[in-house]
């Protein structure tokens, strides 16, 4: 039996809501074969990030080589890469192995405020990784950091930001609107260099949104692994994240995770 294969290159969230764990759960739910390269271990739970432990470059390189030299993949998602050194290694390996269908989730700051990308790594992210992307999925604060701007407050400003990020090299930009204030619609905008596409859903009133960004990008990655178009993949991911937030889990003492198996029970 043949199956779509998807790889996540990201940090581990031992609490299971974000990072590698969210990605693998999503891959499984979307019926693709999931693989992982762990860049960083985090000690994390619903209350926040309590420790960040980067893996050695040798360990990350060995994981990448093990997968690319044997199994291969139909798509790749990058998440928490943390340092310039890790970004440059990942970019080099993706180029050397001619990997296509790269989804970059430019993870920078956790919901609780913990930094997940070192400040000095921003240039490497923009110069070396972004141009490899088939799609990049920033949230609003991440889009502001990438562009060096203070704020994005309207859908018009989201459109302008998506177009400016696309100029940095990724083929497609999905600018996520979860952080757009004063809006009862959660709108994400896809810009493919020519057209804008809008993906809208009712904003759900919940604090339990830990891992939404990882889960959304992982769902896009899974759909691309099955050979779907960018538009189809984003539409599926939007439906997936909506259901996952609608039934998000009130576990732990803080911001609970989304429910990755929500669609299975519908």
Ligand X SMILES: Nc1ncnc2c1ncn2[C@@H]1O[C@H](COP(=O)(O)OP(=O)(O)O)[C@@H](O)[C@H]1O
Ligand Y SMILES: Cc1ncc(COP(=O)(O)OP(=O)(O)O)c(N)n1
Nearest distance in Å: CB 153, ligand X: 14
Is residue 80 a contact point for ligand Y (CB under 6 A)? yes
Query: Where does this chain touch ligand Y (CB under 6 A) — which range of 91-99, 183-191, 196-204, 208-216?
Result: 208-216
Is residue 86 a contact point for ligand Y (CB under 6 A)? no
Region of residue 182 (phi > 0: left; psi between -120 and 50: alpha; otherwise: beta): left
Q: Which is nearer to ligand X, 163 or 204 (CB)?
A: 204
Q: Which of 13, 29, 145, 223 binds ligand Y (CB under 6 A)?
A: 13
By a kind-dependent CB cut-off of 5 to 8 A, residue 245 interacts, out of ligand X, ligand Y, none, with ligand X
Residues making contact with ligand X (CB under 6 A): 139, 176-179, 186, 188, 201, 203-204, 209, 212-213, 216, 238, 241-242, 245
Residues assigned a catalytic role: 176, 209, 211-214
By a kind-dependent CB cut-off of 5 to 8 A, residue 178 interacts, out of ligand X, ligand Y, none, with ligand X
Number of residues that bind ligand Y (CB under 6 A): 18
Instruction: State both tokens at 68.
Output: 């690319």
Is residue 4 a contact point for ligand Y (CB under 6 A)? no
By a kind-dependent CB cut-off of 5 to 8 A, residue 11 interacts, out of ligand X, ligand Y, none, with ligand Y
Is residue 55 a contact point for ligand Y (CB under 6 A)? no
By a kind-dependent CB cut-off of 5 to 8 A, residue 79 interacts, out of ligand Y, ligand X, none, with ligand Y
> CB–CB of 220/174 below 8 Å?
yes
Q: CB-based contacts of 108: which residues, under 8 Å, 6+ apart?
A: 115, 116, 117, 141, 142, 145
Is residue 16 a contact point for ligand Y (CB under 6 A)? no
By a kind-dependent CB cut-off of 5 to 8 A, residue 226 interacts, out of ligand Y, ligand X, none, with none
> CB–CB of 82/107 below 8 Å?
no
CA atoms within 13 A on the CB side of 79: 32
Is residue 213 a contact point for ligand Y (CB under 6 A)? yes
Region of residue 16 (phi > 0: left; psi between -120 and 50: alpha; otherwise: beta): left
| Burial degree of 49 (CB within 10 A; 0-12, 13-18, 19+) | buried
Footprint of ligand Y (CB under 6 A) = 10-11, 13, 18-19, 42, 44, 79-80, 107, 110-111, 116, 210-214
């Amino acid at each position: 039996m043949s199956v779509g294969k998807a790889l996540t290159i990201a940090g581990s969230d031992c609490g299971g809501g974000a990072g590698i764990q969210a990605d693998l759960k999503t891959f499984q739910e979307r019926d693709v074969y999931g693989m992982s390269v762990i860049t960083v271990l985090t000690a994390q739970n619903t209350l926040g990030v309590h420790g960040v432990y980067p893996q050695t470059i040798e360990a990350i390189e060995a994981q990448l080589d093990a997968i690319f030299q044997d199994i291969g993949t139909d798509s790749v998602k990058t998440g928490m890469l943390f340092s310039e050194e890790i970004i440059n290694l990942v970019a080099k390996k993706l180029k050397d192995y001619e990997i296509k269908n790269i989804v970059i989730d430019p993870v920078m700051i956790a919901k609780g405020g913990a930094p997940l990308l070192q400040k000095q790594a921003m240039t490497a992210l923009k110069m070396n990784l972004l141009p490899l992307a088939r799609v990049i999925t920033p949230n609003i604060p991440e889009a502001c950091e990438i562009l060096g701007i203070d704020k994005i407050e309207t859908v018009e400003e989201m459109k302008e930001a998506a177009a400016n990020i696309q100029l940095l090299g990724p083929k497609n930009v999905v600018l996520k609107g979860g952080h757009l204030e004063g809006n009862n619609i959660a709108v994400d905008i896809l810009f493919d260099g020519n057209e804008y596409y809008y993906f809208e859903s009712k904003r759900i009133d919940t604090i339990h949104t830990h891992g939404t960004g990882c889960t959304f990008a992982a769902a896009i990655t899974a759909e691309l692994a099955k050979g779907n178009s960018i538009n189809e993949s984003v539409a599926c991911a939007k439906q997936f994240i909506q259901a996952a937030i609608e039934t998000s889990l009130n576990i732990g003492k803080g911001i609970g995770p989304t429910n990755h198996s929500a669609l299975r029970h519908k």
